[in-house]
Structure 1
Amino acid sequence: MWIFTRLDKELKQAIKLLSLGTFLEYFDLFLYAHMAVLLNDLFFPPADTHAKSLLTAFAFCSSFIFRPIGAMLFGYIGDTYGRKITVVITTFMMAITCLIMANAPTYSQIGIAAAWIVTGCRILQGMSSMGEIVGAQLFLTEATPSPVRFPVVGLINVFGDLGATMSIAVGVLATSYGFNWRIAFWIGSAVALIGSFARTTLRESPEFADARKRLQSVATRAKEDITQIKARPFYNEPIAVKTALAYFLIKCSGAVFIYFIFFYATTTFKLVFSYDAHQILLHNFLLGIVGIIAWSTLRTYLSTKIHPLKILTFAWIGISIFIPFLPWLLNYVTAPWQLFLIQSYIILFWPNDLPGVPIFFKNFPVFKRFSTASFLFALAYAVVYTITSFGLIYLVNYLGYWGLLFLMVPVLIGYKYGLNHFIQLEKAAGRYPKLINWDMDW
């Protein structure tokens, strides 16, 4: 896009490094998640159908439940020492866990210890991915001028989706051509190690670096210790509770729908259409392609012309009209392509934060931005994925597909509340409904 030509060479290099790193992080993170239909049988004990559903939910949730801890840890590092060091550490962590999983013995070899090893790695991967995605998005939010920051930050999501989709492709190869799944983890580990060292060449994001310099300058002029200056109000700017709640609710909605699209629907393919692991992975791979084209890439492009919150409002309308009919449609699905169309529609109107990420981040204080955004993101996904992955098993058992509405309708209401809050903030700042000009920064 022409707007990227106005960025300097150093910023372009940062975009490349952060995009590549996010691609690798999400490839590594979702490699096991999408191959769970194959790998759970290798690392977990044999079980009946119901127990396997619970084990699958547990394996999936293990990488998200501990994300808030990772968010607090890397949020502190990011707000105290900088955005750069955080993305370097998280990439290195992902590389090490992938290396362990590539060489992990199976359940048939060492028993239940195999399940604990894999679960431990999944927990660490979830923690590191939290610092990775927020760190990359925040770095580019603070380093890029408006309005180009919207498509630039959107690229992080595009490459994240590419990484997740490539992980599905590896699963397809493993289930159809006898491709050794361990090789994928070895490759992911090696490339992530290279990526972590490459990211050491990044410079700190300008906004955070300038804020830290201003803080040091005040301490020097006042002849006070930096710790005393940090106790002053301008450093401890409070986080607006309504803004935090609004962002939390926005992230909650995204988690519910992505779980339904890529993970819950596999149950239907198994029970109704008798799909095997290879067919499920191939189906999800095609959905991944739809997501890259119809969701992340399309929204990233539209953000160069339309205010991001307008795009998200349109997405909310599109999904809200459709969801009340979803249980009825699922009850009358008679062919895989029909379910594919349903999933594709939800992907297109998926209510999440893209491309409004920079707007949400910028409404948090700079010295608390990383820790606040990452913790709320992690908490939303940990809570919602846990409730959704386990709750749907019982809701659908007792209520049929109408049980889906007990999760989807509340999060859509919460999403609209959160979106309206940020629209009001943008209006008050004179940045809505039109995109601000290139030369006007925040």
Structure 2
Amino acid sequence: MAVKGKVDSRAVILGGLSGNIMEWYDFAVYGYFAPVISQQFFPSDDPQASLIATFGAFAAGFLVRPLGGVLFGHLGDKIGRKFVMILSGVLMTLPSFLIGILPTFSQIGIWAAVLLIAMRILQGLSVGGEYTTSIIFLAEHAKRDSRGFMASWSSVGAVAGALLGSAVGALFSTMLSDQALHSWGWRAAFVLSLAVGGIAMYLSKKVPEVELDETEKEEFEGTPIMEALKTQKAAMLRVVGIVLAYSVGYYLVFLYITTFLIDIVKVPSSEALDINTISMVVLMVLLPLMAKLSDRFGRKPILLSASLGLFFLSYPLFWMMHHDNAMFILVGQLGFAVFVSAFAGTNPVTMVEAFPSHLRCSAMSFAFNLCFALFGGTTPLVASYLIEHTHNDLSIAYLMMGAAFLSCMALIVHPETARKRLG
């Protein structure tokens, strides 16, 4: 691999994480304002049914992520990583802004829901390319002994975006009346994405491109995803398994949980968002530290420890969060933050190291986005369904435990790649 232009590590990190801030800000805002959006676009006599429909629209954006991964992965392998980061940023920013100005069900009927779902699908295609490409971009600029640390900044950007969304939600919930929040406050949060996206695209343009060596280009002229499915199938399946606990854990503990606290535990919305914001700050700080540990001790020890921790401690941690006591809730969520940060900090470089460079964007994007489409994006929907049909508020703990168990199994058969030279 070769890098076009002089490499400035700070510019590379800013470029790699900025796009993720935009992408995940929007997804976070949607999750945090889900109770409001459900009333605006999916009105029903049953509030829980409206909420399930809202999370169904959320899941729709994830279901197209593998397609986005194939499309943008192909462009990333053929044209370049930087081009994909900029293009996907544009395709995320515009639909986010449009959601903020969409007419509601009371204004145009069912077409409001149709338009909302269409915007989510466009965003899903965009995220299918942005996140994994930025990971690859960061890792390919890094030295071998700091590759995990560099790649982790993609996750820092994702969490920073979600944190920004959480902070905006907490600020609006605190400063605005319920009437103002329902009439225009939630819209303002989406309209702000235009400014966030503009800054992200500006920073992305400042960083140098990484391209394949000419010899690698001559050796491979086919379709990357088809070649990956032929030669990298086992590695792709292992990546799906490794990412499973992270995909379920992140969306269960840092996105759905605000709805859980507000609707199930009956915590005031401003308090629930404040707790979530604090926990996400801790999560973000831990990410590069966990990645540093993986550079020193290997990827598997960190990821296996996190899997076992989630399997054995999910139930007691959710039990703590099921109390109308802010300190109990915070301690429970901070416990999850430790384990999820191990995955979020170490998974990026683990995925990059699993694939050869000429197929990396396509293979990694498809595997990662397939996992998030099937399991991550559907997590809030499944969680809502489980609680409603089991009549057990803590049934969501078993969802987390199952995901942790499957990730543990995938990690056992996955080779250690910390000392591997990137091809």
Asked whether the two chains share a fold, i.e. TM above 0.5, the reply is: yes
Q: Determine the structure 2 residue equivalent to 1:176.
A: 174
Contact 1:269 1:336 in 2 (8 A): no
* 2:236 aligned with 1:255: no
- Cα 1:132–1:216, aligned 2, differ >3 Å: closer, same or farther? closer
Q: Which digits, 9 at most, give the CA deviation of each residue in 1:114-136, with x for residues without a partner?
A: 22222221221122122111111
Q: How does 1:142-291 map to 2 (within 5 A)?
A: 142-178=140-176, 180-205=185-210, 208-210=211-213, 213-215=214-216, 230=222, 238-291=230-283
Q: Which digits, 9 at most, give the CA deviation of each residue in 1:232-284, with x for residues without a partner?
A: 9xx87943433221110111111222232134434542345423433332232
Q: Which digits, 9 at most, give the CA deviation of each residue in 1:190-233, with x for residues without a partner?
A: 3423533553444321xx421xx114556xxxxxxx85xx499x
Instruction: Write the distance in 2 (CA, Å) between the matches of 1:160 and 1:236.
Output: 26
The offset of 1:297, in angstroms, is: 4.0
Q: Determine the structure 2 residue equivalent to 1:91.
A: 89
The amino acid of 1:186's aligned partner reads: V
Instruction: Write the distance in 2 (CA, Å) between the matches of 1:236 and 1:23.
Output: 29
Q: Determine the structure 2 residue equivalent to 1:339.
A: 329
The offset of 1:406, in angstroms, is: 4.4
Q: Determine the structure 2 residue equivalent to 1:299.
A: 290
Instruction: Write the distance in 2 (CA, Å) between the matches of 1:251 and 1:236.
Output: 18
The offset of 1:30, in angstroms, is: 2.0
Contact 1:154 1:296 in 2 (8 A): yes
Instruction: Write the distance in 1 (CA, Å) between the matches of 2:100 and 2:90.
Output: 15
- Cα 1:110–1:181, aligned 2, differ >3 Å: closer, same or farther? same
Q: Which digits, 9 at most, give the CA deviation of each residue in 1:137-158, with x for residues without a partner?
A: 0111122221112111111211
Q: Determine the structure 1 residue equivalent to 2:412.
A: 420
Q: Which digits, 9 at most, give the CA deviation of each residue in 1:146-181, with x for residues without a partner?
A: 111211111121122111111111112222223844
Q: Which digits, 9 at most, give the CA deviation of each residue in 1:393-434, with x for residues without a partner?
A: 343332625633543333222211222233x344xxxx5xxx
- After superposing the two structures, state which structure 1 stretch, 16-25 or 72-81, moved more: 16-25
The offset of 1:94, in angstroms, is: 1.3
Q: Which digits, 9 at most, give the CA deviation of each residue in 1:311-356, with x for residues without a partner?
A: 222222322331354576567x353432332222122112635224
Contact 1:70 1:131 in 2 (8 A): yes
The offset of 1:91, in angstroms, is: 0.7
Counterpart of 1:72 (choices 63, 70, 73) is 70
The answer for unaligned runs of 5 or more in structure 2 is 1-5
* 2:129 aligned with 1:131: yes
The offset of 1:381, in angstroms, is: 1.2
Counterpart of 1:108 (choices 106, 109, 119) is 106
Contact 2:148 2:292 in 1 (8 A): no
Contact 2:38 2:51 in 1 (8 A): no
- Cα 1:239–1:340, aligned 2, differ >3 Å: closer, same or farther? farther
Where 1:45 maps in the other structure, the secondary structure is coil
- Cα 1:356–1:29, aligned 2, differ >3 Å: closer, same or farther? closer
Q: Which digits, 9 at most, give the CA deviation of each residue in 1:354-373, with x for residues without a partner?
A: 22422322221322211111
Q: Determine the structure 1 residue equivalent to 2:16.
A: 18
- After superposing the two structures, state which structure 1 stretch, 162-171 or 95-104, moved more: 95-104
Percent identity among equivalent residues? 25
- Cα 1:53–1:192, aligned 2, differ >3 Å: closer, same or farther? closer
Query: TM-score, normalising length from structure 1?
Result: 0.82
- Cα 1:358–1:238, aligned 2, differ >3 Å: closer, same or farther? farther
Q: How does 1:325-404 map to 2 (within 5 A)?
A: 325=316, 333=323, 335-350=325-340, 352-385=343-376, 388-396=379-387, 397-398=389-390, 400-401=392-393, 403-404=395-396
Query: TM-score, normalising length from structure 2?
Result: 0.85
Contact 1:246 1:417 in 2 (8 A): no
The amino acid of 2:51's aligned partner reads: S
Contact 1:252 1:384 in 2 (8 A): yes
Q: How does 1:45-84 map to 2 (within 5 A)?
A: 45-84=43-82
User: In terms of Rg, which structure is larger?
Assistant: 1
Instruction: Write the distance in 1 (CA, Å) between the matches of 2:401 and 2:196.
Output: 41
Contact 1:237 1:365 in 2 (8 A): no
Instruction: Write the distance in 1 (CA, Å) between the matches of 2:283 and 2:384.
Output: 25
Instruction: Write the distance in 2 (CA, Å) between the matches of 1:330 and 1:196.
Output: 38
Contact 2:39 2:50 in 1 (8 A): no
Contact 1:29 1:126 in 2 (8 A): no
Where 1:300 maps in the other structure, the secondary structure is helix
Contact 2:31 2:256 in 1 (8 A): no
Between the two proteins, the alignment pairs up a number of residues equal to: 408
Contact 1:140 1:153 in 2 (8 A): yes
Instruction: Write the distance in 2 (CA, Å) between the matches of 1:359 and 1:247.
Output: 8
The amino acid of 1:341's aligned partner reads: V
Q: Once superposed, what is the RMSD of the aligned Cα atoms?
A: 3.0
The offset of 1:83, in angstroms, is: 1.2
- After superposing the two structures, state which structure 1 stretch, 173-182 or 280-289, moved more: 173-182
